[in-house]
Amino acid sequence: MTITVATFAWVPEVARGYVKDLRVRWALAEAGLDFELQLLGEGEPDGDAYRGWQPFGQVPAYRDDEVQLFESGAILLRIARQADALAPRDAQEAADIEAWMFAALNSVEPKIDALVHPGIFHAGEDWVAGSRPSAERLVDLRLKSLGRWLKGRDWLLTRFTVADICMATVLRSLEGEPVIGRHPVVAAYLERCLARDGFRTALAGQLETFGADAA
């Protein structure tokens, strides 16, 4: 099967290592599936051809011999179905994986983005400092719930799945934020996820694409 993953040909330094094709690379590494990169040059994400594949002009986008799709979460579910190591074992596990993917992307990621993005995309603007306390409180609540669930568990489910890839890449944006230090169970879970070979392979691959050292 030929798998193609579309990502940008270039991103600013601050984004290197954090572009969401990382999730896809990680899942493919865990699955042991090879892929080709389609690197989008200047203007290409806005062209009709790419918008027909990814309507928002974002990355990643994915194509294999059967389907093409966009949205990193949807792509991860597709990859999981293609790979023995990641495929759900029964209907309940499939449902749990889907639920935790949505939880990561819908219940956790927006709160973390609201805390972290202003400092990155609006650095120096007057309102940024004032937005932090309430944003941090909401992240704190989510991490408290997540820590409660993860207590006594290595992974979100009984084994590592694409839901962990999604959750870990979401949580990773909190590295360096004081709030994660207040949730040691979540911090330990994140560390466990990021220690996997699949993550290291994915990160090294993305940094190589964007011309940065993989150190």
Ligand X SMILES: N[C@@H](CCC(=O)N[C@@H](CS)C(=O)NCC(=O)O)C(=O)O
Interface residues with ligand X (CB under 6 A) are 19-20, 57-60, 71-72
Distances (CA, A) of 185 to 32, 93, 96, 116, 206: 29, 23, 21, 21, 28
Nearer to ligand X, 58 or 82 (CB): 58
Instruction: Work out how close the CB of 86 gets to ligand X at its nearest, in angstroms, rounded to a whole number.
Output: 18
Instruction: Give the span between the Cα atoms of 60 and 5, in whole angstroms.
Output: 7
Query: For residue 69, what are the β-bridge partners?
Result: 62
Nearer to ligand X, 4 or 58 (CB): 58
Instruction: Work out how close the CB of 178 gets to ligand X at its nearest, in angstroms, rounded to a whole number.
Output: 24
Pairing of strands 36-40, 61-63: unpaired
Instruction: Work out how close the CB of 142 gets to ligand X at its nearest, in angstroms, rounded to a whole number.
Output: 18
Instruction: Work out how close the CB of 8 gets to ligand X at its nearest, in angstroms, rounded to a whole number.
Output: 7
Instruction: Give the span between the Cα atoms of 177 and 120, in whole angstroms.
Output: 13
CB 73 within 8 A of CB 101: yes
Nearer to ligand X, 161 or 169 (CB): 169
Instruction: Give the span between the Cα atoms of 97 and 80, in whole angstroms.
Output: 10
Nearer to ligand X, 8 or 160 (CB): 8
Cis peptide upstream of residue 60 (ω within 30 degrees of 0):
yes
- Report the residue closest to ligand X, judged by CB: 58
Hey, what are 213's tokens? 């050292």
Instruction: Work out how close the CB of 137 gets to ligand X at its nearest, in angstroms, rounded to a whole number.
Output: 24
Nearer to ligand X, 69 or 185 (CB): 69
